[in-house]
Amino acid sequence: MSPTATLAANRYRAVFCLERAPRSTDHADVTIALCLDDATEPMFTSPPSFVAADDLRRLLRYLDDHLALLVTRPNGEGIVFCPLELGFQLQALGGEVDGDGGEFTLRLMVNARRPGTGEESVYLGCEGSVDVAAVRAFAAELVAALAALQL
């Protein structure tokens, strides 16, 4: 079974499934399943996207930096985070964070284009509030997934 990391927002969840990319020693093939509320079946699952392990680590720093920003600037908005391969976009928006608690709005857009088809990129996504604890749980799962794949 492939390692996963689940980003559980208050009205949706995004399950990042990682597999070691067969053509690279420092990339993963990442699929993202988007589910609304407590649905057992995803409303959408992305095609695999070739993502550098360093980009996934950069995502972790992005989220950590945003949590630190919100402690002093509740209306702070992060720039859009997008890995080089354009498999997904994420933007952390305003909220209230006090160290270990709080929440903020998170926008996640997933590329629906099938790789190698030459199709124009179309993004599908969700936006809603996410708890600090859920972000930290996602970060821990993503670190474990990268370790499991030895990336």
pLDDT in tens, 16-69: 999 999 988 999 999 999 999 888 899 999 999 999 999 999 999 999 999 999
Structure tokens at 42: 């995803």
Would you say residue 1 has pLDDT above 90? no
pLDDT at 65: 96
Q: In the chain, what is the greatest distance between 2 CA atoms, to the nearest angstrom?
A: 45
Q: Domain-by-domain residue ranges, the chain?
A: 4-148
In eight-state DSSP terms, residue 21 is: -
99 has pLDDT over 90: no
| Residue-wise pLDDT tens digits, 68-94 | 999 999 999 999 999 988 899 999 999
pLDDT of residue 38: 80
* The pLDDT of residue 2 is above 90: yes
pTM of the full structure: 0.93
User: Which pLDDT tens digit goes with each residue over 100-122?
Assistant: 899 999 999 999 987 667 777 89
Amino acid at site 39? A
Find the distance separating the first CA and the last CA of the chain, reported in whole Å. 17
pLDDT of residue 121: 82
Position 113 scores a pLDDT of 81
